[in-house]
Structure 1
Amino acid sequence: MRCAAILRVIVILLTLITTWYFAEKMYSNRDNMKSLRSIFEKKKAQFSCGNEKPCPDDYFAFKIISGAANVVGPSMCFENSIIMSSIKNNIGRGLNIALINASTGVVIKTSSFDMYSGDVKPLLEFIKPVAEGTLVFVASYDDPGTKLNDEARAVFASFGSSYSKKIGFRDSWLFVGGKGISTKSPFEQHIKNNKETNKYDGWPEVLEMEGCIPKKTN
Structure 2
Amino acid sequence: MNGYWEYARTQLQNWQQDQNVFSRTSINAQPAANIPGASTRSDFRYHKQYHEERCTMQCMCIILLLRRNYAPLQPPLIIAGRWKFVIIVVGCVAAWYMGKLLANSMIDGSLQRALSAIQELALKATITAPFPKQHKCAHWTRCPAGTFAFLVLSGGAKFRPPQICFEDEMLLSSVKNNVGRGMNIAIVEAKTAKTVDTGNFDLWGGDKSERMIEFVKKAPDGSLILMTTYDDSYTRLTEDAKKYIEELGSRQIRSLTFRGNWVFLGTKGFTLPKNFQREKVLNSQKEGNRYGSWPAEIQIDGCFSPKTDYL
TM-score using structure 1 length: 0.80
| 1:197 counterpart residue number | 288
Rounded Cα–Cα distance in structure 1 between residues aligned with 2:243 and 2:218: 14
| 1:7 counterpart residue number | none
CA contact (8 A) 1:67 1:73 kept: yes
CA contact (8 A) 2:277 2:300 kept: no
Rounded Cα–Cα distance in structure 2 between residues aligned with 1:25 and 1:127: 63
**Of 118, 123, 136, the match for 1:27:** 123
Matched, 1:176 2:265: yes
| 1:131 counterpart residue number | 220
| 1:208 counterpart residue number | 299
CA offsets per residue over residues 20-79 of structure 1, 9 Å max, x none?
99875432032x52xx41xx54xx23x111201111122110122111101221111111
Rounded Cα–Cα distance in structure 2 between residues aligned with 1:79 and 1:29: 40
**Of 61, 69, 80, the match for 2:149:** 61
**Structure 2 counterpart of 1:73, one-letter code:** P
| 1:75 counterpart residue number | 163
Rounded Cα–Cα distance in structure 2 between residues aligned with 1:79 and 1:98: 13
Bigger relative contact order, structure 1 or 2 (CA pairs below 8 A, ≥6 apart)? 1
Per-residue deviation at 1:209? Answer: 2.5
Structure 1 unaligned blocks of 5 or more: 1-19
CA contact (8 A) 2:249 2:267 kept: yes
Q: Highest CA radius of gyration, 1 or 2? A: 2
**Kindly, what percent of the aligned residue pairs are identical?**
34
| Secondary structure at 1:122 match in 2 | helix
Structure 2 unaligned blocks of 5 or more: 1-115
CA offsets per residue over residues 184-213 of structure 1, 9 Å max, x none?
652211101112232111111111332111
Per-residue deviation at 1:183? Answer: 5.8
| 2:203 counterpart residue number | 115
Gap change, CA 1:182 and 1:60, over 3 Å in 2: closer
Aligned CA-pair RMSD: 2.3
| Secondary structure at 1:165 match in 2 | helix
Rounded Cα–Cα distance in structure 2 between residues aligned with 1:59 and 1:116: 36
Higher strand fraction (1 or 2): 1
Structure 1 residue runs of 4 or more that deviate by more than 3 Å after TM superposition: 20-26, 182-185
**Of 143, 159, 172, the match for 2:232:** 143
| 2:178 counterpart residue number | 90
Higher helix fraction (1 or 2): 2
Gap change, CA 1:182 and 1:21, over 3 Å in 2: closer
Rounded Cα–Cα distance in structure 2 between residues aligned with 1:211 and 1:143: 25
Rounded Cα–Cα distance in structure 1 between residues aligned with 2:272 and 2:177: 34
Per-residue deviation at 1:182? Answer: 5.9
Rounded Cα–Cα distance in structure 1 between residues aligned with 2:215 and 2:273: 22
CA offsets per residue over residues 158-196 of structure 1, 9 Å max, x none?
111111122221101111121132666522111011122
CA contact (8 A) 1:128 1:155 kept: no
Q: How many residues align?
A: 192
Rounded Cα–Cα distance in structure 2 between residues aligned with 1:166 and 1:208: 16
**Structure 1 counterpart of 2:290, one-letter code:** K
